Amino acid sequence: MRSRWCLYLPALFLCLALTPASYSQTANLKAIHAEGMKTFSEEQIISLCGLKIGSQVGKSELQDSANLLLRSGLFSKVNYKFDTHNDDVTLTYQLEESPRLPVAYDNFPWFDDSELTAAIKNDLPFYDGTLPAGGTVVDLAGNVLASFLTQHGMKAEVQHFVLQNPLIDASEQQFQVTGVTETVASVEFGDPALKTNLAAQQHLSDVVGKPYSRLTIDVFLAEAIRPIYLEKGFLRAKVGPAQVRLTGDPNKKLPEAIPVYVPSEPGPVYTWKEAEWNGNSALSSETLKKTIQIKTGDVADGMTIEGGWDRVREQFGHLGYLEAKVEPVAKYDDQGHTVSYSVKITEGKQYHYQDMRITGMSLAGEEKIREAWTLKPGDVMDKTAFEQLLLRLESHKESVFQDLPVHYDSVGHWLQTDPQKGTAEALLDFK
The pLDDT of residue 345: 97
Which among 361, 376, 352 has a CA at the least distance from the CA of 430?
Answer: 361
Beta strands in 59-105 (DSSP E): 75-85, 88-97, 101-105
The pLDDT of residue 254: 64
Side-chain half-sphere CA neighbours of 25 within 13 A: 1
CA 363/CA 397 separation, integer angstroms: 16
User: Reduced to 3 states, what is the DSSP secondary structure of residue 40?
Assistant: coil
Element (H, E) at 180: none
CA 127/CA 63 separation, integer angstroms: 25
pLDDT tens per residue across span 224-270: 999 999 999 999 999 988 988 776 555 566 677 889 999 999 999 99
Under 8 Å between Cβ of 197 and 230: no
Q: How many CB atoms lie within 10 A of CB 302?
A: 22
User: Reduced to 3 states, what is the DSSP secondary structure of residue 243?
Assistant: strand
Which among 368, 363, 362 has a CA at the least distance from the CA of 392?
Answer: 368
Which among 376, 375, 393, 377 has a CA at the least distance from the CA of 385?
Answer: 375
Beta strands in 166-256 (DSSP E): 170-177, 183-189, 238-239, 243-244
Which among 193, 44, 38 has a CA at the least distance from the CA of 127?
Answer: 44
CA torsion through residues 105, 108, 113, 119, sign: negative
Q: How many CB atoms lie within 10 A of CB 32?
A: 21
CA 342/CA 358 separation, integer angstroms: 41
Under 8 Å between Cβ of 133 and 139: no
Q: How many CB atoms lie within 10 A of CB 195?
A: 11
Answer whether CATH 3.40.50.150 is correct for domain 352-430: no
The pLDDT of residue 42: 87
Residue 181 to residues 184, 210, 258, 361, Cα–Cα distance (Å): 10, 10, 11, 47
Under 8 Å between Cβ of 91 and 31: yes
The pLDDT of residue 3: 46
CATH of domain 2-97: 3.10.20.310
Which among 81, 71, 254, 248 has a CA at the least distance from the CA of 152?
Answer: 254
Range(s) of the chain covered by CATH 3.10.20.310: 2-97, 99-180, 271-346, 352-430
The H-assigned helical ranges of 221-262 are 226-230
One digit per residue, the tens of pLDDT, for the chain of length 431 reads 444 444 444 433 333 333 333 445 788 888 889 888 888 888 898 889 898 888 888 888 888 888 899 999 999 999 888 888 888 888 888 899 999 999 999 999 888 899 999 999 999 999 999 999 999 999 999 999 999 998 888 888 999 999 988 777 789 999 999 977 889 999 999 999 998 999 999 999 999 999 999 999 999 999 999 999 999 999 999 998 898 877 655 556 667 788 999 999 999 999 999 999 999 999 999 999 999 999 999 999 999 999 999 999 999 999 999 999 999 999 999 999 999 999 999 999 999 999 999 999 999 999 999 999 999 999 999 999 999 999 999 999 999 999 999 999 999 999 999 999 999 999 999 99
Residue 265, beta-bridge partner list: 238
Class of domain 186-201+214-267: alpha beta
User: Reduced to 3 states, what is the DSSP secondary structure of residue 43?
Assistant: helix
Which among 134, 45, 136, 57 has a CA at the least distance from the CA of 92?
Answer: 45
Answer whether CATH 3.10.20.310 is correct for domain 271-346: yes
Under 8 Å between Cβ of 322 and 415: yes
CA 392/CA 402 separation, integer angstroms: 12
Q: How many CB atoms lie within 10 A of CB 421?
A: 11
Under 8 Å between Cβ of 116 and 108: yes
CATH of domain 99-180: 3.10.20.310
Under 8 Å between Cβ of 342 and 331: yes
Under 8 Å between Cβ of 360 and 408: yes
Please give the model's pTM, rounded to 2 decimal places: 0.75
